[in-house]
Amino acid sequence: MKKLVLVLFSTILLTACSNTSSNNAENKSSSSQSSITTSKRSKTATPKPNLNKKYPGFKLATIPDNFQGTWYQTDIYSTQARKFIITKHTIMDSVVYQKTDPNLNLSHRSEKDNKTYAGNATMVSFEDKNGSQWLRARGFLDTVDIIYITGTFKGHRCLYLAYSSGDIHSAIFKDRKAALKYRKYDFSQVTNPSN
């Protein structure tokens, strides 16, 4: 009896493996075709940010010139610098808005807010602090700001990155080589961004 159960189980297992491998071959073929099609689409049809979208309590913001341009960022594990692009109205592909209604309080727990403020958009504000300009940015329903602080590091123009508290944790550079050169530097030691 044990031998019969073992033989039946082995037969079922082999049949299942056989069907799985033939299905995998079919899936690989269609998956490869799908990724080729997706790859072609992504190169030709990159969606542009919609600067005409309106959000209640916000207006389209204009980013100051000294933040705009192509910056380069990296990290301790990277051997390549990645582009980080800020334009007149976008940070990367996210359109920036300024709050016009001081009484507007958004909650990520609100279903209504999640529907109304969905999209690729960022809330920004601007400040002058200690001789540097600060650009505070966060998603409409996020709770933590990313702060871009104008400055120089060892003679290289950069934007220091900080969280809501203002403590610097990294930097992005105008010069790709500088971004790579200082990728392992501990930027939390920087106390004066304008030097």
Contact 184, 168 (CB under 8 A): no
- pTM listed for this prediction: 0.74
Task: Tell me which residues of the chain have a pLDDT lower than 70.
Answer: 1-46, 195
Q: How far apart are CA 20 and CA 28, in angstroms?
A: 12
User: What pLDDT is stored for residue 21 in this prediction?
Assistant: 45
User: What pLDDT is stored for residue 46 in this prediction?
Assistant: 64
b/e for 96-120, b at 16 or more Cβ within 10 A? Answer: bbebeeeeeebeeeeeebeeebeee
